[in-house]
Structure 1
Amino acid sequence: MLHKSFTLLLLLLAQISLSNERPNILFIMVDDLGSRDLSAYGSKDIQTPQIDQLMDRGMRFTQFTANSCVCSPSRAAFLTGRNQDMVGVPGVVRTHDHNSWGYLDPEAVTIADVFKSNNYRTSLIGKWHLGLQSPNHPNERGFEIFHGFLGDMMDDYWEHTRHGVAYMYHNSTAVETKGTHATELFTNWAIEEIKQAQKDPRPFFQFLSYNAPHDPIHPPKKYYEYFKKKQPNTSEKRAKIGGLIEHLDYSIGRVLDTLNELEIDKNTLVIFTSDNGGKIKYGADNGELRADKTHMYEGGLRVCTSFTWPEKIRSKSLSDFRAMTMDFMPTLLDAVNIDYSGHMDGKSFLPELLFGQQENFTKRKQFYTWLQIYKKHALRIDDWKLVNNSKKSQYELFNLKNDPFEKKDLSEKHPEKFSDMRKAMDAYLSKANQINWKRPSQKKSQ
């Protein structure tokens, strides 16, 4: 009790000091990054000095998970601070109705809405992936500035199309961008917007959302050849994704250099994360974690994550605190002392960032889902994890403290724990199934 009171006192004092000048926020999300594809996370072949340096200046997390094993649901969880099912995005939002599995609730309040209403300049640079038209255009979901890709994956990093449609936009205007690598484009636009924001008296919140290293794996030739030269015995697919990630690292370094050149780095909170784990068949490395993207095991959910905030977050910090994508919103609102009364499923872990002494959410039910024809799902409570990774009702139970690589199913050995977690999972799924996830055109075609 004394420990909790002391932590609350420290947090109160910290918030008083934070309220003097609200920081800029640069939130960097990459796409399908393997949990061991940064040198800071143990990669032996891919070198990411810019991201490593960023993480070295702040707190790096070892147990952070995405809300889902695929893109759109995790992005919806980040933007709303909610479980993705509860805002209508249980699966991937796609171009065609027959293969689209989400419709972001038009009534859901986004993190951009809240920052904008609290005098922040809000921008989204890069991948959106939560709707192609009103009411789910980025400009209608709290972002004053949108410069990026409306669709899901790109069919080509230089063509910037999906199913033959060009989805690059500046706000509501389509822009011709063919011929420049998407990572370079998003980096240029991010830098341009940061510079423009210096003319605005408001602090900025920028969501910098890269497509890389999502497939197709299209590295610039220079980076692919350099990777092959330094790793002559590597596979072709590893060389391609290695080149793509090292180019991404260089590009993120350009954005961070801009903060330094403008002398705003000390008053900018920078977050780095991925929307889910990497895909092994494209060359990603999730280390010893089981499986990969599209799976409910840790290889599909564990993500490289860090927070950097000079003079607020201690450098070279390493945290095993267990947080997930939907916790970003309440944590960031806490960090800038914004009082928001709307409902969020996520929880703030600001005390962990500032003091490194927050207790884990041991009783919290962490639900992970992905709908595509059928719903894969998982539930974690403290060290226990229930997994259904197939179309059939085939559940497994793991204790991640003793079995971090999910090798031993304990459902028969611990029937009471298994039963309790099944009941909690079933109750959540029953509630989730009542939430609309179909866009209007899908309803009409029924």
Structure 2
Amino acid sequence: MKRTFWIWLVLFGWFTALGPGEAFEGKPNVILIVLDDLGYHDLGIQGSEDVKSPNIDKLATDGVRFTDGYAPHHFCGPSRSGLFSGTYPFRIGAAFNAPKDYWDKTVGLPLDVEILPQTMKKAGYRTYCVGKWHLGHTADHHPKNRGFDGFFGFLGGSWNYTLSEIYDEELDDFDYMYRGFQRVEGITYATDDFTDAAISYISKSRRLEEPFFLYLAYNAPHAPFTAKISDLDLSIPEDRIQHVGMITAVDRGVRRIRAYLEQIGLTEETLIIFSNDNGGHADGANNEPLKSFKSSYRDGGLRVPWFLTWPGVIDREQTFSCAVTHLDIYPTLQNLAQVPLDDRNPALVGVDLMPFIKKVGEDDPVNSGHPHSFIAFGGPDDEGISRGVLREGPWKLLVSRDGVTPPKLYNLVADIGEKTNLAGVYPIKTARMLNDWREWNRDNIPPVYARERAPNPLRLELSVVENKLTTTPGFPISFQATGSSTEGESVDYYWETFVPSRIYAANFRDVWTKGVTSTGRRQSSIAITYPFAGDYIVRVNIETERWVLWKDVQIEVTSD
């Protein structure tokens, strides 16, 4: 009885905090777990016969399972852009996966958009990113420059699970695993390494006595399909065995994380959100009973497993069957983080889901209605043709090529597999929903960046005055840069100098060795004086509003 009374007091304070009243003291820790290409049917709790996922399943039974939960898009990059921005991917031009590009600042989640980790950081959280990023490669797009205090993972869209670096044949370049700005060696199996990093960050935040927001983006079960031998179930058919084994590794990670939270006494202070970035892939995932796979606007490309667990606050074994979207995660966490009303992100389009979820000690949720009158997807491609979906209650309108191909209408309650097109049976409903989708689509914009890298228009030459590559401590050495843009823009100069071991960090932020002085760092020429002997790299960066380019020269400072 006393426990129920105390819970009611906490919940009353929490709901007051979400309105004009004063906030309660505690803020929940948040672990947001996002898998990559998991099938809708690929968990035991989702009905799978061959996937054993007891620890992930327990996340669902310990809280609420959203049966009609949708990702913002049907493939990786735009979906994550929607999750982090809290708005429709096509509202911000994030229509494509960001190609690998260190020079073009438009390639990735737009830099002028406030994103979830920045908001959580403002609210006093320690923020950590583990795993797959896939939201841009430039220095400004790096997770540590977009609101995260710590980062362990990779920047691109996929990773070989047992390697620390991967050669990119197309670009004749390497991709790397990073800790912060530094490259990491010694990767064992990425899924297990990501779990290790997650636990390490939780431990660090606990020592700092600050609430934490942990984004744990496992790349499993995305290709390349590489399971540990010990995770393989030999009774599973060949076309599924690797895929299922990779899920087993994630399930082990979930068990370890929850066990650690229990060990340090943070179970009831931690909200865990578990989901997937888009529908399962066609090479082994199971999306039954949904139609199609990743990269499709059918529900098999958009609807995802999604659970929310907060022991002691959220009541157990709930099933929520109204349509919800990952765009609801940002406003939900913004409220739980008690961000002041005048400092909240005004661009969010989702809703706070907590009032729709039954709490411990409640007979019913605070709000028993539908979170959304409709949810929508899609927008214009680089050819100006719009595609997308409108989901309204049980009805789904599929717009394949607006103005070119007639739309299709499905009743997902009666026909979850989208087998029977009802557009001809309900022409008035079809026309109305199409008009609603077009009205919604008016605010979407064409892609900000292309599928492929654009050529860099910047040109840069770097020279050492009098070809002098050596100097002694206390004697300046001079450098001259000549930069230009074929697009006619003026360029800005930024100089760095550092020891060779810091070259990886210099790729992502300004690095200047302590004690080194110069005549300036923002002109086309510079004189640098080193107090100590050693090898150094001098780098000049040139930059316009969109483009970045740099060049290096190595010098020697001798004591002779």
Is the TM value for this pair above 0.5? yes
1:342 maps onto 2:353 in alignment: no
Cross-structure match for 1:3: none
1:325 and 2:329 matched: no
- Give the stretch that moved more between structures: 431-440 or 160-169: 431-440
Q: Could you say what secondary structure the match of 2:454 adopts?
A: helix
Per-residue deviation, 1:96: 6.1
Q: Deviations over 1:57-107 (max 9, x none)?
A: 11111111111111111111111111111223112122269xx99631111
User: For residues 438 and 239 of structure 1, do their structure 2 counterparts lie closer, same or farther at Cα, with a shift above 3 Å needed?
Assistant: closer
Q: Are 1:203 and 2:211 an aligned pair?
A: yes
Aligned match for 1:113, one of 115, 118, 125: 118
Measured in 1, the distance between the counterparts of 2:165 and 2:44 equals: 29
Residue 375 of structure 1, CA deviation: 5.7
Partners of 2:101 and 2:107 within 8 A in 1: no
CA apart distance, 1:371: 5.2
Q: Distance in 2 between matches of 1:167 and 1:88?
A: 27
Q: How far off is 1:401 after superposition? A: 2.6
Cα distance change, pair 260–269 in 1 and its aligned pair in 2 (3 A): same
Q: Look up the SS of the partner of 2:443 in the other structure.
A: helix
Quick one: which amino acid aligns to residue 281 of structure 2? K
Contiguous gaps of at least 5 residues in structure 1:
1-9
Inter-partner Cα distance in structure 1 for 2:74 and 2:252:
26
Q: Is this contact kept in 2: 1:89–1:101, CA < 8 A?
A: no
Q: Distance in 1 between matches of 2:411 and 2:304?
A: 19
Q: Does 1:244 align with 2:252?
A: no
Q: 1:156 to 1:125 in 2, by over 3 A?
A: closer
Question: Is 2:421 the counterpart of 1:409?
Answer: yes
Query: In structure 2, the residue corresponding to 1:442 is in which secondary structure?
Result: coil
Partner of 2:182: 173
CA displacement at 1:283 relative to structure 2: 1.2
**If you compute each CA radius of gyration, which structure gives the higher value, 1 or 2?**
2
What secondary structure, in the 3-state scheme, does the structure 2 residue paired with 1:194 have? helix
In 2, distance between residues paired with 1:341 and 1:189?
A: 29
- The CA distance in 2 between the partners of 1:123 and 1:290, in whole Å, is 35
Deviations 1:346-382 (A, max 9, x none): 1111111245443114523422469587764212222
Please name the residue that 2:15 is paired with. Answer: 15
Instruction: Determine the structure 2 residue equivalent to 1:381.
Output: 392
- State the shift of 1:118 in Å: 1.1
Write the distance in 2 (CA, Å) between the matches of 1:405 and 1:199.
49
Say if 2:353 and 2:371, in contact at 8 Å, map to a contact too.
no
Task: Specify the SS of the correspondent of 1:378.
Answer: strand
2:277 to 269, 275, 278: 275
Q: 1:362 to 1:141 in 2, by over 3 A?
A: closer
Matched, 1:188 2:196: yes
Q: One-letter code of the match for 2:202?
A: I
* Corresponding residue for residue 152 of structure 1: 157
2: distance between equivalents of 1:425 and 1:253?
42
Residues 240 and 285, structure 2, Cα contact 8 Å, conserved in 1: yes
Moved more, 146-155 or 204-213: 146-155
SS in structure 2 of the partner of residue 432 of structure 1: coil
| Contact in 2 for aligned 1:39/1:47 (Cα 8 Å) | yes
1:161 is aligned to 2:166 = yes
Residue 252 to residue 16, structure 1, CA distance change in 2 (3 Å): same
- The equivalent residue for 2:410 is 398
1:222 aligns with 2:230: yes
Please give the residue correspondences for 1:66-81 in structure 2 after superposition, counting only pairs within 5 Å: 66-81=71-86
Aligned mates of 1:47, 1:192 — CA distance in 2: 27
Q: Could you say which structure has the greater relative contact order, defined with CA pairs below 8 angstroms and 6 or more residues apart?
A: 1
**How does the TM-score come out when normalised to structure 2?**
0.71
Quote the Cα distance in structure 2 between the aligned partners of 1:288 and 1:71: 22
2:90 counterpart of 1:89? no
Q: Structure 2: which 5+ residue stretches go unaligned? A: 1-9, 18-22, 458-486, 488-560
Per-residue deviation, 1:127: 0.6
Partner of 1:436: 448
Instruction: Kindly report structure 1 stretches of 4+ aligned residues shifted beyond 6 Å.
Output: none
CA deviations 1:98-120 (Å, max 9, x no partner) are xx996311111111111101111
In the other structure, the counterpart of 2:548 is none
Name the counterpart of 1:4.
none
Letter in 1 for 2:370: N
Higher helix share: 1
Computed over aligned residues only, the root mean square deviation of the Cα atoms, in angstroms, reads 2.8
Say if 1:101 and 1:438, in contact at 8 Å, map to a contact too. Answer: no
For 1:302, the aligned partner's letter is R
**What letter matches 2:177 in structure 1?**
M
- How far the C-alpha of 1:51 sits from its partner, in A, is 0.8
Matched with 2:261 is 259
Mapped to 2, the partners of 1:286 and 1:316 lie a distance apart of 23
Does residue 47 (structure 1) correspond to residue 44 (structure 2)? The answer is: no
Task: Give 3-state SS (helix, strand or coil) of 2:208's partner.
Answer: coil
State yes or no: 1:61 paired with 2:66: yes
Structure 2 CA distance for partners of 1:367 and 1:101, relative to 1, 3 Å: farther
Partner of 1:367 in structure 2? 377
Question: 1:241 Cα deviation (Å)?
Answer: 0.9
| TM-superposed deviation, 1:160 | 4.8
Q: Indicate how the Cα distance of structure 1 residues 435 and 51 shifts in structure 2: closer, same or farther if over 3 A, else same.
A: same
What is aligned with 1:5?
none
Opposite residue 414 of structure 1, the aligned amino acid is Y
What SS is found at the alignment partner of 2:405?
coil
TM superposition shift of 1:192: 0.9
Matched position secondary structure for 2:69: coil
The answer on 1:425 being equivalent to 2:476 is no
How far the C-alpha of 1:341 sits from its partner, in A, is 4.7
Secondary structure at the aligned position of 1:135 is classed as helix
TM-score normalised per structure 1: 0.88
Describe how 1:348-359 pairs up with structure 2 within 5 A: 348-353=352-357, 354=359, 355-356=364-365, 357-359=367-369
Task: Name the residue aligned to 2:303.
Answer: 302
Could you give the per-residue CA deviations for residues 136-194 of structure 1, whole angstroms, max 9, x where no partner exists? 1111211111111111112454355262523211111222244x111011111111111
Shift of 1:46: 0.7
Residue by residue, what CA displacement relative to the aligned partner does 1:291-344 show, whole Å, maximum 9, x if unpaired? Answer: 111111111111111111111100111211321011100011223332325221
Which stretch of structure 1 is more off in the superposition, 397-406 or 246-255? 397-406
- Residues 11, 351 of structure 1: 8 Å contact kept: no
| SS of residue in 2 equivalent to 1:167 | strand
Are the equivalent residues in 2 in contact too, given 1:398–1:409 (CA < 8 A)?
Answer: yes
Alignment of 1:136-151 (within 5 A): 136-151=141-156
Q: Please state whether the residue corresponding to 2:432 is helix, strand or coil.
A: helix
Q: Which residue of 2 aligns with 1:25?
A: 30
On the 8 A contact 1:151/1:162 being kept in 2, the answer is no
Aligned-partner Cα distance in 1 for 2:167–2:90:
25
